[in-house]
Amino acid sequence: MTQRYMWEMLKDIQGRRSLHMPGHGGNAPFPLPELFALDTTELSVTDCLYTPLSAIGEAQKAYAHSAGSACCVFLHNGSTQGNHAMLEMAAGEGDSVIVPRNCHYSVISACVLGGITPVWVPVEGYGEYAYVREETFLSVMRENPQAKAVFVTRPDYFGGCVPLEAIAEEAHRLGMKVLVDEAHGAHLPWHPEIHSASECADAWVQSVHKTLPGLTGSAVLHLKSEEDLPEVMRILRREQTSSPSFLLMLSIDDARAYMEDEGERAVRRMLDNSERIRQSLLGLGLTDPREKWAELSGYTFDRSRVVVSTGCEGKTFARITRNRGVDIEAFIGNCAILLVPVLMQDGTCEEICRIFREMPGPSVSEQEEESICAYGLAQSAMSLREAALSRAEYVELDEAEGRIAAECAGRYPPGVPDVVPGERLTKEILQGLKEAGSWHRFGTEGEKIACVAL
């Protein structure tokens, strides 16, 4: 029989314990027949995402009502597509936008496509954590009142939430739109402790598959005003496939329906399970660095994800858990990040806690030293768009020092670029990329990196 490579791979991972995306954790919110039987296209008896007249339109209205927006659009290319649409809706060729230097690389791609100039907001770093202070946002905005919008990532990959109210108030005073990458916060409309961007933002995007029971790639773009919808749809028709996945849209609508039924109870269960897992790790002698991070940054941290300093290399900790049948979301330096699915069953949570309690405790360092954040260390030598659209040549990492990057490159996760097009590659950046290895970086081709051709 002909070999089915993808099926065999996916079949083999069934039964493992998930502490990573997607947020359904392998469980469907509602019983479903075979997915192939539901996969269809735009017909007179279905609907069309770009001119919705029936079910898709009603599903989008229902999601907007639940999440607190005036209207929303279902996405099937993740929050990446939402970031592109938000930025290109708010700014055009030659315009500038206030952007934190530790944004996701999809934001830089949107600036390239739209001819938008990012005005970088510098970041600060402590250990593995990089953050932007509220007052730094405000300062850069006041220094650049010509900017069309301010872009904020909230929550970040570690669950950190910058205070948004003052940033939004100042942005609106200056005539800027407020755009929020809320990819990691699709559950926030039902969160008992942290508010969604809906209270302050003009547009925000949420990855349904990250923290809600949506299929991978499912996301929603929310708008505060319906007046922005025609321009957003024009951009999406131009840049998104004309054949959207009905299965992804089904999973978005089912995630919304599940949360309308369960809502705050589901998030409270997720918070409770996260705390149980966190306590099992603290019992090994691991530590939670977020109290210190909150003190330094002024952020509030979402407790639905677990972050621990492992006392050893994060990849060592990940290997230990993987060998015991538990797959974590990510490791960054000495930190491990664990995402607790909203649909996790009590029995699964208890089994994971038991596995963690039986693990050997690593030797934990007493000192956590402040480090210099790598984001923004490179110097710009060419405009972002010029470099990204230039002819590129691929140079060995060992030989690329001093060359101008033609592509974003960095470590993944969290998908934050260490270097963006137009910046010079430094020894430190190249060393970080080499240490990450091909499995945990983006923007390279094997051991080569795209540089502007000489």
Report phi then psi at 374, rounded to 5: -75, -25
Every domain range in the chain assigned CATH 3.90.100.10 = 384-452
Q: Which residue's entry shows tokens 């872009």?
A: 151
Question: How much is the pLDDT for 15?
Answer: 81
Report phi then psi at 439, rounded to 5: -75, -25
Give the list of residues 6+ apart from residue 394 with CB closer than 8 angstroms, or none.
445, 448, 449, 450, 451
**Model pTM score:** 0.93
Q: CB–CB of 117/384 below 8 Å?
A: yes
413 alpha carbon, distance to own chain's centre? 9
Question: How much is the pLDDT for 366?
Answer: 40
Per-residue confidence in pLDDT tens, the chain, 454 aa: 788 888 888 888 888 888 888 888 888 888 877 888 899 999 989 999 999 999 999 999 999 999 999 999 999 999 999 999 999 999 999 999 999 999 999 999 999 999 999 999 999 988 789 999 999 999 999 999 999 999 999 999 999 999 999 999 999 999 999 999 999 999 999 999 999 999 999 999 999 999 999 999 999 999 999 999 999 999 999 999 999 999 999 999 999 999 999 999 999 999 999 999 999 999 999 999 999 999 999 999 999 999 999 877 778 888 899 999 999 998 888 899 999 999 988 789 999 999 999 988 765 444 444 444 556 667 899 999 999 999 999 999 999 999 999 999 998 888 889 999 999 999 999 998 998 888 889 999 999 999 999 9
Return the CATH number of 39-262, one of 3.40.640.10, 3.10.580.10, 1.20.1640.10, 1.10.260.40: 3.40.640.10
Q: What is the rounded distance in angstroms from the CA atom of residue 142 to the CA atom of residue 344? A: 45
Q: CB–CB of 278/305 below 8 Å?
A: no
Question: How much is the pLDDT for 367?
Answer: 40
Written as one letter, the residue type at 147 is A
Homologous superfamily (CATH) for 264-357: Aspartate Aminotransferase, domain 1 (3.90.1150.10)
Q: At what angle do helices 134-143 and 165-173 cross, to 10 degrees?
A: 10
Cα(first)–Cα(last) distance of the chain, in Å?
51
Burial class (CB within 10 angstroms; exposed 0-12, middle 13-18, buried 19+) of 44 = exposed
Helix (H) / strand (E) element for 450: namely: strand 448-452
Question: How much is the pLDDT for 372?
Answer: 42
Question: How much is the pLDDT for 35?
Answer: 83
Q: CB–CB of 77/240 below 8 Å?
A: yes
Question: How much is the pLDDT for 17?
Answer: 86
| CB neighbour burial string for 134-161, b if at least 16 within 10 angstroms, e if fewer | bebbbebbeebeebbbbbbbbbbbbbbb
Please state, in angstroms and as integers, the Cα–Cα distance from residue 144 to each residue in 171, 178, 199, following that order. 11, 15, 24
- CATH number assigned to the domain covering 384-452: 3.90.100.10
Q: CB–CB of 137/297 below 8 Å?
A: no
Q: CB–CB of 69/196 below 8 Å?
A: no
Every domain range in the chain assigned CATH 3.40.640.10 = 39-262
SS3 of 394, please? strand
Other Cβ atoms closer than 10 A to 182: 28
Every domain range in the chain assigned CATH 3.90.1150.10 = 264-357
Taking phi over 0 as left and psi of -120 to 50 as alpha, with beta for the rest, 185 belongs to alpha
